[in-house]
Chains A and B, each alone.
Chain A
Amino acid sequence: MLTSDLLLTRSRGPYIEPRYVDATDDQYLDLAQALIDIFQAHQGHSRKELQAALDQYAGDRTDYRIQRGLAKLLFDDHCEFHITSPIPPEELRQATFALSRENHPIVRDTSLIYPVQRQDVLDQVGRKFDLAADQVLDGLYADLTENHQLSTFAVPESNYLLNRYNVALAQAMLYRCDSLQLSVHRNLPVRYKQLFKFIKFYRLIHAIEGDLDAGYEIVLDGPVSMFRHSQKYGLQMAVFLPALLLCTRWQMRADIKRKDGRKQEFILDDQSDLVSHYRNQGEYDSLLEQTFAERFEKAKTEWQMERETEIINLKETVMIPDFAFRHPDGRTALFEIMGYWRPEYLRRKLDKLRRAQRHDLIVAVSANLNVSEDDFKDVPGGVFFFKNRIQPKDVITQLEQVH
């Protein structure tokens, strides 16, 4: 991730956006490659030397902040540094400072009062550790970050680096965000689940409006946001962004507070060129779901199965059913599969089903689970149990009973 000072922005009236680099432009590909080459050439050298080489390359170029951003990503994600010193630096320091204390203060020119020189101290310490005086001086602070040596550099492609940089810019923009509005429309349930998993994980709070056909408006902020505009959750939103990039149909509008107090909007949508580096889950939650979907596709029925599904808002949480069904005559229904669950998940899922109070939500329950029909008496929609696989005809029977 980038620090805020490396964020470059462009304002247009009420809007603000990062100054992305064109990841296919030779000018930037060359720049990225040049930096990667400098890193690679400095394996076995100190961080200070590497930094000096980077500064020298930057010279009086005005794009030095892009360079620093790219270098920051290389430092953070591609480098390993080590301390190299024959004697632990702390031991060298102790010996040196103790000896210099006996001859305090150390002076440039010796005299009757100050007969011992700095060189004498270093020589004497050197003899103790079997080192030359220069080595003592070099080793004295070998543990400082700037003196660490670059031992490994994992070489990235220049194009990959530019893509990472662009995402990092968008993330850095969100550090200053106090509220995030998302419009999401007809995504796969796994994408929604992924999204809400991250929302919950980063302790954000959501407000949701909308339906399956119109799409959903989700406002994200944090618990204290209702009392004061706070950028406290900006970092959480920044780490959340790559999860959003995995969705297929979405738009994001972020309220950005500038340093001068002015408010601007940062808009991003699925047309952007940003490439997430988070791993996408497959299209299905489980093999059970996938097998059912494939079997249902072959079943003879007028009901159409839809993978894009509804988000049921339960206020403190959401429920995202696995499938939606649509009949040509306009009827719709939702379908949830309860396959293999650990007890506490099971309890939570049951609680969600009760709170949802949806008559059009059908539930298929594995007979292996430790639940009975009794547990579902407060759940208004159709419920049926299955042994190993879910039969499409059982689902169709239930679908016909909705309404």
Chain B
Amino acid sequence: MRLTFEDGTLLLRDYRKGEPVPPAFVWDDRVDMWRAQALFYRESLEFMRQNDADLNNTAPRYNKLTLELKSTPEPHPHQRDALEAWKQRDCRGVVVLPTGSGKSQVGLMAMARVQRSTLVVAPTIDLMNQWYDLLSQTFGGEVGLLGGGYHELQDLTVSTYDSAYMHMERYGNQFGLIIFDEVHHLPGEMYSHAAEMSLAPYRLGLSATPERADGRHVLLNTLVGPTAYEKGIVELSGDYLAEYRVESRQVQMVAEERAIYETARSEYQDFLSQRSIKLGSLAAWRLFVQLSAQSSAGRRAMLAYQRHRKIALGTVSKIRVLEDILKIHPRDRVLIFTNDNETVYEISRIFLIPAITHQTKTKERKASLEAFNQGTYLAIVTSKVLNEGVNIPEANVAVVLSGSGTIREHVQRLGRILRKREGKQATLYEVISKDTVEDRISQRRRRHPAYYAKVQS
């Protein structure tokens, strides 16, 4: 019989009755053949070997490579330990390390260890670009890209999760090793297909925060392998991460804003209390959304809700505080984070500093980040795109002007300024509108040991 890879699955062609069938295979009535998810390639092959099957294996199409780690720094002990632990688990599993502690380096070491065609999957175009640079610098030669307008496969290829999910049914047999960066994205309903439709026998997941609110991180055991190694942010602070402190700045909305805020707030609250709805649960929120589509009064209440939130997060007082912070740090490298792109561009126009959003083209983004690292620019304003893993070692001040309530986003923003450098002291400012909905948002996102150990007001 012949083992083939087709559309993200494995098929047994020319199968004769009585030949051994691995447990992952199921009879597919639609095509009259045995079929399995590509994910189970490695264990199916082992089963075939144990049962001395007469097998013509045409499924894998990846290559053996000779990758050499050139010009990379001597690995830190935690990086060496992480790789060792992963090797012990047959080169499958997740490595959990804080942002800024050199997770990508572990990825490079894994590639040099496995020596097979490798696909790196990253959540954003920025990170895809960054891995692209890293792989070309480290190993030389052509590196392929899948996503962000590129569709080009090489022995070493970098992809976004979106593209990996879309195209794995075609390319799932082209790689022996898959590295899932920020692997907490993988267990989603759709993205998990990217792991299932690949036959890669070697898999590595990297993350600072693998847990998901929906609990689906348990799926990583099957999709990538169990957690092989884990070290936390507090354990590595000082030794491998820069020293840091967190400062909270509370601002008062100006009088006109406060007036609009209160009017908007009572408008939606009146609407809700008349219907005995208390916001705070998902069910109550859904009901509010439902009601807002049923009557003009509901629609007005929803618009008022959005208005009051927007004012709290975007008060002009925050701009004043930002100016003060910039004056305190005239020679530091400052990253400014906001919740939405509109504010990013507003701040860019007010302070005449470069902005980076998902709309910024790859070339310009790269140039801006380089200029920032070299000191040609001293400040960059951004929304969500620099939340994860982008390499800006020189950044030492972060200003969170507004954000969501998620812990992950906040930890990642902090991580942007923690890359270790001699004598570096990092500061994270959090600017909050006093006595508004933002108090609650801030409390929610700070439920992480990296914060309550360090906050000063």
Q: Which of B244-252, B372-380, B411-419, B422-430 contacts A (4 or more CB under 8 A)?
A: B372-380
For residue A104, which residue of chain B has the nearest CB? B378
Cα–Cα distance between A222 and B78 once the two chains are bound (Å): 43
Q: Is A298 an interface residue (CB 8 A)?
A: no
For residue A8, which residue of chain B has the nearest CB? B293
Task: Give A83-107 interface residues, CB cut-off 8 Å to B.
Answer: 90, 93, 96-101, 104-107
Number of A-B contacts (CB under 8 A): 101
Cα–Cα distance between A207 and B197 once the two chains are bound (Å): 22
User: Smallest CB–CB gap between A120 and chain B, Å?
Assistant: 11
Per-residue contact bits, chain B 348-367, to A (CB 8 Å; 1 contact, 0 not): 11111110000100001000
Q: Is B28 an interface residue (CB 8 A)?
A: yes
Which chain B residues lie closer than 8 Å to A118 at the CB level?
Answer: 350-352
Q: Which of B4-12, B106-114, B434-442, B446-454 contacts A (4 or more CB under 8 A)?
A: B4-12
Q: Flag if B296 contacts A121 (CB, 8 Å).
A: no
Partner of A62, one of B6, B8, B189, B294: B294
Task: Give A178-237 interface residues, CB cut-off 8 Å to B.
Answer: 203, 205-207, 222-224, 226-227, 230-232
Which chain B residues lie closer than 8 Å to A231 at the CB level?
Answer: 189-190
Q: Is A137 an interface residue (CB 8 A)?
A: yes
Which chain A residues lie closer than 8 Å to B7 at the CB level?
Answer: 203, 222-224
Q: Flag if A223 contacts B35 (CB, 8 Å).
A: yes
Considering residues A104, A121, A145, A223, which has the most beta carbons from chain B within 10 angstroms of its beta carbon?
Answer: A223
Cα–Cα distance between A316 and B32 once the two chains are bound (Å): 8
Q: Flag if A107 contacts B193 (CB, 8 Å).
A: no
Cα–Cα distance between A114 and B350 once the two chains are bound (Å): 15
Q: Is B214 an interface residue (CB 8 A)?
A: no
Q: Flag if B330 contacts A104 (CB, 8 Å).
A: yes
Which chain A residues lie closer than 8 Å to B445 at the CB level?
Answer: none
* Range, interface on chain A: 35 or more
Q: Flag if B30 contacts A107 (CB, 8 Å).
A: no
Partner of B379, one of A104, A121, A315, A316: A104
Q: How many residues of B contact A (CB 8 A)?
A: 46
Cα–Cα distance between A99 and B29 once the two chains are bound (Å): 69
Instruction: Please report whether the interface of chain B is mostly helix, strand, loop or mixed according to DSSP.
Output: mixed
Q: Is B226 an interface residue (CB 8 A)?
A: no
Q: Flag if B193 contacts A224 (CB, 8 Å).
A: yes
User: Smallest CB–CB gap between A307 and chain B, Å?
Assistant: 28
Q: Which of B63-71, B97-105, B257-265, B297-305 contacts A (4 or more CB under 8 A)?
A: B297-305
Q: Flag if A140 contacts B349 (CB, 8 Å).
A: yes
Q: Flag if B352 contacts A61 (CB, 8 Å).
A: no
For residue A121, which residue of chain B has the nearest CB? B352
Q: Flag if A105 contacts B349 (CB, 8 Å).
A: no
User: Smallest CB–CB gap between A35 and chain B, Å?
Assistant: 18
Cα–Cα distance between A232 and B300 once the two chains are bound (Å): 37
Partner of A145, one of B323, B349, B350, B359: B359
Q: Flag if A205 contacts B323 (CB, 8 Å).
A: no
Which chain B residues lie closer than 8 Å to A128 at the CB level?
Answer: none
Partner of A105, one of B28, B295, B299, B330: B330
Q: Flag if B30 contacts A100 (CB, 8 Å).
A: no
Q: Flag if B378 contacts A207 (CB, 8 Å).
A: no
Q: Flag if A203 contacts B352 (CB, 8 Å).
A: no
Q: Is A60 an interface residue (CB 8 A)?
A: yes
Q: Is B388 an interface residue (CB 8 A)?
A: no
A-B CB proximity, top 4 nearest: A100-B352, A105-B326, A223-B7, A60-B296
**Mind listing 5 A-B residue pairs with CB under 8 Å?**
A61-B296, A121-B352, A226-B30, A231-B190, A232-B193
Could you list which residues of chain B lie within 8 angstroms of chain A, going by C-beta atoms?
6-9, 26, 28-32, 35, 37, 165, 169, 189-190, 193, 196-197, 293-300, 303, 323, 326-327, 330, 345, 348-354, 359, 364, 376-379
Could you list which residues of chain A lie within 8 angstroms of chain B, going by C-beta atoms?
60-62, 64-65, 90, 93, 96-101, 104-108, 114, 118, 121-122, 137, 140-141, 144-145, 203, 205-207, 222-224, 226-227, 230-232, 315-316
